[in-house]
Amino acid sequence: MSHFSCKNGALYAENTPLTDIARRFGTPTYVYSKAAFVENYSAYADACKSNGRDENSALVCYSVKSNSNLAVLNVLSRLGSGFDIVSGGELLRVIAAGGDPRKVIFSGVGKSHEEMRLALSHDILCFNVESISELHRLNEVAGEAGKQAPISLRVNPNVDAKTHPYISTGLKENKFGIAYDDALTTYRLAADLPNIRVVGIDCHIGSQLLDDAPLLEALDKVIELIDRLAEDGIHLHHLDIGGGIGITYDKEKPVPIGDYLTRLFARIDQWRKQKHDGAPIQVMFEPGRSIAGNAGILLTEVQYLKHAEAKNFAIVDAAMNDLMRPAMYEAWHGVQPVVQRAEEAKTYDIVGPVCESGDWLARQRSLALQQGDLLAIMSAGAYGMTMASNYNTRGRAAEVMVDGDRVHVVRQRENPADLFALESIID
Ligand SMILES: Cc1ncc(COP(=O)(O)O)c(C=O)c1O
Ligand SMILES: N[C@@H](CCCC[NH3+])C(=O)O
């Protein structure tokens, strides 16, 4: 169910009209629905439960990079979520939001000494190691800290995720993970390192996947590796299949989470029965977009209408620095007027004030508009605010979270002075 819906010609976030939010907090503003976050997380948690899993046998580790606002992390941590992080900064966010570091897994190809030390000091659940050099560094850092670092290797199963090439991560040519064919030798190396404890295996093949077939194909390859490792006496405690399930931006029909998880658990149960006397293995997920994407919109106001020779432009007060996805991937986001107009529609490109031709949010949309109208850029809850920048010395947008008819500011709008506060002039 969408928590952003039209009632009597006006768009609401849960029970709150977006016009009220714009009036109280200004624009551009990211607006999140708490109920949507709860519902989307619960789709995973409920499917784990209905497939006979508890927290010890399945753990949802929300991918913090998709939307890392503290209020979001707090809502999810209160539901029992773990977290997939890619930086020390994200770990500190999880902790500041009340999340449990012992449910944190640390992915990413470039972990620094300092980030490793920080994560070890908080006893995180697992490091997803992406290269042999990282393994050696982690062994060294853990030794200095007097600890053993729990690790998975992120293997690259060379499966085509059939998604946008920029957000595909599981192919040979991608920088992520350890090549499938090198995984066995790398595991043997890891198992021999004194300050490393091999606990699992991880893969993540890409994002915005509509079909679960590539994920199940990756699972089969991971299972094959786990069996080979067991023959070598390396027994894994968990299997992390990554994130990647897509959402509806336009007319896409992603696989329902419950269907995907049911197929995945059935495959795992069958395998464990056949090859491991039914001994359980913990399963982890790293979903981002499927939890956050449709839980947020970007609210913006039309500054000017410009009827140029070739096109009509609606120049709005949000820009590529607020929502980078269209400029970066030519991504499509729905655009809805906050209050419907009866007048005849025209075709517009929705563009921002930034000095780049790539500064557009939507193209060729049929809308009836007037200067001062409010628009909602839909499906902007994931990879929206987290990818925002200060280009053109634009302060980043405010973020609010709606909970029924209550609205909470969960991040204040940045002032220009905030932007240069860390800068200084030389003599
Ligand atoms: C390692 C890793 N895990 C999880 C995710 C989250 O993916 P998604 O938002 O598609 O669920 C990503 C981003 O693609 C990722 O790189
Ligand atoms: N940032 C991307 C997805 C990449 C996910 C991170 N590996 C997006 O907006 O779609």
Binned at pLDDT 50, 70 and 90, residue 337 comes out as very high
For ligand 1, whether the C-beta of 204 sits within 6 Å is: yes
Domain C-terminal end among 267, 292, 317: 292
167 CA from centroid of ligand 2 (Å): 6
367 and 413 part of one domain = yes
Quick one: what percent of the chain has pLDDT higher than 70?
97
279 and 331 part of one domain = no
Does 426 map to a domain?
no
Catalytic positions, written as ranges: 355
User: Phi-psi region for residue 27, left (φ > 0), alpha (ψ -120 to 50) or beta?
Assistant: beta
290 CA from centroid of ligand 1 (Å): 10
**Averaged over 70-89, what is the pLDDT?**
98
The verdict on pTM exceeding 0.95 is yes
* Sign, Cα dihedral of 367, 373, 379, 380: positive
Quick one: what percent of the chain has pLDDT higher than 90?
93
Q: What are the percentages of helix, strand and coil residues in the chain, rounded to 5?
A: 35, 25, 40
**Ligand positioned closest to the Cα atom of 292:** 1
> What is the pLDDT, as a whole number, of residue 158?
86
Res 120 pLDDT > 90: yes
CATH number, domain containing residue 52: 3.20.20.10
For ligand 2, whether the C-beta of 167 sits within 6 Å is: yes
**Averaged over 103-112, what is the pLDDT?**
97
**Ligand positioned closest to the Cα atom of 289:** 1
Q: Distance from first CA to last CA of the chain, Å, rounded?
A: 59
Amino acid occupying residue 179: A
CA atoms within 13 A on the CB side of 372: 1
For ligand 2, whether the C-beta of 3 sits within 6 Å is: no
For ligand 1, whether the C-beta of 290 sits within 6 Å is: yes
What's the number of domains the chain is made of? 2
203 and 345 part of one domain = no
For ligand 1, whether the C-beta of 66 sits within 6 Å is: yes
Does 425 map to a domain?
no
pLDDT digits over 372-423, tens only?
A: 999 999 999 999 999 999 999 999 999 999 999 999 999 999 999 999 999 9
CATH number, domain containing residue 405: 2.40.37.10
186 CA from centroid of ligand 2 (Å): 28
Q: Which domain holds residue 144?
A: 34-292
90 and 229 part of one domain = yes
- Residue 365 is assigned to a ligand binding site: no
Res 170 pLDDT > 60: no
- Residue 329 is assigned to a ligand binding site: yes
> What is the pLDDT, as a whole number, of residue 305?
98
